[in-house]
Chains A and B, each alone.
Chain A
């Protein structure tokens, strides 16, 4: 584009069919100018920081782009440009917490996991027995076992109930009273989806306390947590399974019926078999969702320092409640350089930040578990869907 012609005549004369009428180079240059300008302004004000430059630079870029585009292209196109920038900005704003959070967790948590306290990766193979004060030791083995056990039991409760409810909704709730029941169930599943996790915890607690003797009201155990988590997991399982079962074409059911296959075998051998990849993906994502739940477990399973394998007796530690507990403990006090384990007599270094460090490392552990589950779910849906063979 020629710079000697007036803006109006340029807009009239050069009118490519492409809606983007300013060369991309101009926009990039504008962004660079905005950033430099922001840096200069902040330097003059004496508050130069990367975040500040990015935020002010973005705002300046919005203004610059609008003015420049308004002059070169007119009002309508200027508004369009500002909108595009705003939309991209919104995405960047959302990505910022995700990336920042993952970065902090990996750096801070990773440092604690590999640190020689007492040996690298001991964090994943030891529990918190006898770890007192600012002892720079201890780990999450007990909490990881607790999390996996409680989630396993929640899955054992939720998956059959959820799957059969979905089968009921898709295969049985077709006519008459079953149709009415199906509508009611669909509504209640919606209600269950919205139950706050703390209320699920209260339910788990209230349910067991009702049947417990009055002098044992402080009783907590793993299965209470599993029941509470099931309340959150069942609706997720039902929703995703129902969607997957409805995707199975009616054709295939009819083909099986026409071969003289009874309804239940058609469901098991044709419908479930065809939908298995989607079902597994949905169930895995449901597990990934409840494995990080904290509030219900605070109420129902409490906290201990050692490994407890028994779901029906005594409190259990879990990763989410462990993170919360370590975070709330805050900074430790170090009166001496070293702390002795009263149980096995081992001696550890003392660190003021030991609780917070453990919280980050446990967060890393939890995020690894959740991400592995998510990746597994994606892989299942990718590799185990029915093949067309073409």
Chain B
């Protein structure tokens, strides 16, 4: 594959039915880096994240206008199949959601098996091991791969979901508040993992936790809304260092210094 290109988002408007949820986002997301999206509840940061792999439109009535270019190709072009987009842009959710009917091993292989793709046992074993190692879970579960995925702890389940996501070898991994339901130790494990993952993946993470944003990300975007019922906007987007020490926008400064939100 050619050298990774940035994700270019250009004048993106995101709707739920008639309601404009996020207005006019234009941003460039660097490859092989961690980009954090922060902002108060309801500002549209998760909504924006879900438009990057066309998961937004899974919700009845939801759609987006504008362009999102991945590898120089607009994923909102009418001829584009969202299924192919999602194979290249993976997603980790707020609540860990392993498939309850599958073992740990099958959960990792879900992307392959659910698509009815044939895979030899040797390749499958290799894929399971590399993915679980990639998610820092291998040592904990290697002796019980055939046990149900639901039997793991919350933090382990979330790392299982990450392993499942990287097993389909995406270019981009989206994370929607992946640590909000976890205890501090599990959170730390995930944050360490994010550091390692950015060697090979472009990562976009939504978080409520500003310390987390400052710890894990290279770049940070701040979303805000003017009030209930108004659309969310991307207020500022810059290097994390700069955002947390010397933001240009007053709203960003207020939010980061804890004056609201």
Contact = CB atoms under 8 A, between A and B. Distances in A.
Chain A, interface size: which category?
A: 20 to 34
Interface in A235-266: 249, 251-262, 265-266
B246 interface: no
Interface in B86-133: 86-88, 90-91, 93, 95, 97-101, 110-111, 113-116
Contacts of B110: 255-256, 259
B61 interface: yes
B93 A254 contact: yes
A251 B97 contact: yes
Chain A interface helix/strand/loop/mixed: helix
A258 B83 contact: no
Nearest to B144: A389
Contacts of A265: 114-116
Contact of B90 (A249, A252, A259): A259
B147 interface: yes
B58 interface: yes
Contacts of B87: 259-260
Contact of B151 (A179, A252, A273, A390): A390
Chain B interface helix/strand/loop/mixed: mixed
B115 A260 contact: yes
Contacts of B101: 273-274, 386
A266 B88 CA distance: 17
A74 to B, nearest CB: 54
B168 to A, nearest CB: 6
Contacts of B258: none
Interface string A131-175: 000000000000000000000000000000000000000000011
Contacts of A175: 60-61
A23 to B, nearest CB: 49
B84 interface: yes
A280 B4 CA distance: 48
Interface string B134-152: 0000000000000111110
A259 B111 contact: yes
B55 A261 contact: no
A259 B164 contact: yes
B97 A252 contact: yes
A261 to B, nearest CB: 4
Contacts of A389: 147-151
B97 A255 contact: yes
Given A259-B168, A260-B84, 7 more contacts: A254-B91, A256-B99, A259-B164, A261-B111, A269-B113, A387-B150, A389-B148
Interface of B: 53, 55, 58, 60-61, 83-88, 90-91, 93, 95, 97-101, 110-111, 113-116, 147-151, 161, 164-165, 168
